[in-house]
Amino acid sequence: MNPRVPPLQPWPLDRLLARVAQEWAGDKSVFSLAGRRFWKAEPGVDLSCDVGGRRVATPVGPAAGPHTQMAQNLALGWLAGARTFELKTVQILDQLDIPRPCIDMEHEGYNVEWSQELTLEQSLDEYVKGWLLLAVLRAWEPLRASVGEPGDHAFELSVGYDLAGIRSDRMAMLIDGLRQAGPRLDAMRALISGPFAHLRDVAADPVIVSTATLSTFHGCPPDEIEAIVEHLMTRHGLDVTVKLNPTLLGQETVAAILHDRLGYGQVPLDAAAFAGDLQWDRALAMIDRLESFARREGREFGLKLTNTLVVENHRGVMPGDKAYLSGPPLHVLAVTLLDRLNAALPGRLRLGEATKGIPVAFSAGIDKDNLASTVGLGLLPVTVCSDLLRPGGYGRLAQGLRSLSRQMKKSRAADLAAWRAQAARAARADGHDDAVAHQAALLATAGGFARYTAEAVREPLREVDHDLEMFDCLACGNCVTVCPNNAFLAVPTGVRPPLKSRSQYLVLAELCNECGNCVTFCPERGAPYLVKPRLYTDAAAWEARGREGMLITDPGVTTAGADEAASLVDALTRQPGWLRDDTGR
């Protein structure tokens, strides 16, 4: 491991729940997301749909990535209206050294992440913990007024990247553990305590996943895709989705869209990625065979468009030669690919008004403004990653859902079937066969693609000429909302000289993986995750990291030496709050 990057140390369920209770009692927020930003269904608009054999309450959720790795991330997505979760990809190589920073969301998105940063055993624990945490939050009466009747949700496993790894005993342990999670869930129930104690026996389905998405990224050999899908279906009884890469469009088409149409001329494509990935003819033949195989096995085979696009790392923000492009430009690429696949497989994809055929999930540049039209194409689920890494964070998902509900209400579409039918009618009225062709054609017109161009996306971020300090800053709150791990805490300062700004920001060091996203969005100069006070809640973790930062305990704040900052943090964390709760934490 890179010695500079400490491993993530997920919090146990009781500590997460103590935080929920204290924050809710303090300022009606949960994991720093204000209750008024939670998603609550609009009366008269039914967003429920079937995803992987489960009826879920909304068609959206976070895509595999930093928002689906730890239990508190899953809870934040749920509070914002996510009802399907593509869990962070798991793979056999679970001790990878991920370079840092690994996320660069200044304009269009880039990252250099791989799969989960936790071990497979920790990932299993996190996914079970997240499942139980959602069951508790769903049943917890104080949240009811803010979340309404939340309805059901589903977790989807994401696996990579080769047959040997996916067939290994340790991967089987993880998948079996999620398929028969009863004993693990029961063992965790003892941690449901305090104001949640009456929910210790809350209902939680022991089958946490019934679908898996295969990420064909990171060198997944094209000739192993079929065998992996077959293995997941037969050995594990899973429905399987294959997540395709935008390279399937071919380098020429990608260059024409990315460089010529959208103006990202300086983004160098990676010829090797196009050559090494699944090719068009082979993909169509594979889809044929896997559809038949799934039918014989009584399972469902689906497609997901798309993963990120491998490009040369040209920005110099993150280390390494390659980077993975996401966000607005990927949206145009993925809709174009969807249209081509739909044309090549007429009537075979479950799109538009179709209720049968190969289901297609989507993740590519979804934001609050295009969520509604994308849902109208019949894609299920529609998932988001890059947009949630921008200021507002998880709350942006709820904004998208509100916009979808508003538009449906305005056009009197009571449910998603009616919404899709409207999109299909509008497509036909405009001379297109279906809504996908309509959307792809729109994105080829100057008016349709304008908002996805480099020019539109590369608005400068706010910057102030000031070095970030440990206490006091502009107090914009960006570090809190852009952190997918919820590793920042804002503490209202109150009248506490010598502190001046209205909030102080503390880093929950055990949850920070130094992805760098807070650095991008902090208007001041400096790295918030390093400059702001770094707090530990677990003595062993603090010791293991050489006693850096501060250990928060009930009697007080401990630092390696006597320190004025520690006494300020001590005062700040003595305000009512979860850091000093009744359980002595």
Ligand X SMILES: Cc1cc2nc3c(=O)[nH]c(=O)nc-3n(C[C@H](O)[C@H](O)[C@H](O)COP(=O)(O)O)c2cc1C
Residues that bind ligand X (CB under 6 A): 63-66, 88-89, 103, 109, 111, 113, 115, 158, 215, 243, 307-308, 326-327, 330, 363-366, 384-387
**Which residue lies nearer to ligand X by CB, 113 or 339?**
113
The nearest distance, CB 47 to ligand X, in angstroms, is 19
**Which residue lies nearer to ligand X by CB, 325 or 413?**
325
Rounded CA separation 185/25 (Å):
27
**Which residue lies nearer to ligand X by CB, 375 or 385?**
385
The nearest distance, CB 98 to ligand X, in angstroms, is 10
User: Dihedrals φ, ψ of 456, to 5°?
Assistant: -75, -35
Rounded CA separation 407/560 (Å):
56
The nearest distance, CB 226 to ligand X, in angstroms, is 18
Rounded CA separation 585/502 (Å):
25
Vertex 35: Cα angle to 155 and 70 (nearest 5): 35
**Which residue lies nearer to ligand X by CB, 22 or 485?**
485
Surface-to-core class of residue 1, CB atoms within 10 Å of its CB (0-12 exposed, 13-18 middle, 19+ buried): exposed
The answer to whether 323 and 316 are in contact (CB under 8 A) is no
The nearest distance, CB 2 to ligand X, in angstroms, is 17
**Which residue lies nearer to ligand X by CB, 400 or 577?**
400
The nearest distance, CB 328 to ligand X, in angstroms, is 8
**Which residue lies nearer to ligand X by CB, 30 or 112?**
112
The answer to whether 508 and 537 are in contact (CB under 8 A) is yes
Rounded CA separation 407/372 (Å):
8
The answer to whether 437 and 351 are in contact (CB under 8 A) is no
Rounded CA separation 112/323 (Å):
5
The nearest distance, CB 46 to ligand X, in angstroms, is 25
Looking at the DSSP bridge assignments, the partners of residue 358 are: 349
Which residues, other chains included, contact 310 with Cβ-Cβ below 8 Å and sequence gap of 6+?
245, 247, 270, 273, 322, 323, 324, 325
The nearest distance, CB 106 to ligand X, in angstroms, is 13
The answer to whether 427 and 433 are in contact (CB under 8 A) is yes
**Which residue lies nearer to ligand X by CB, 110 or 419?**
110
Rounded CA separation 270/293 (Å):
33
The answer to whether 309 and 332 are in contact (CB under 8 A) is no
**Which residue lies nearer to ligand X by CB, 17 or 379?**
379
The nearest distance, CB 65 to ligand X, in angstroms, is 3
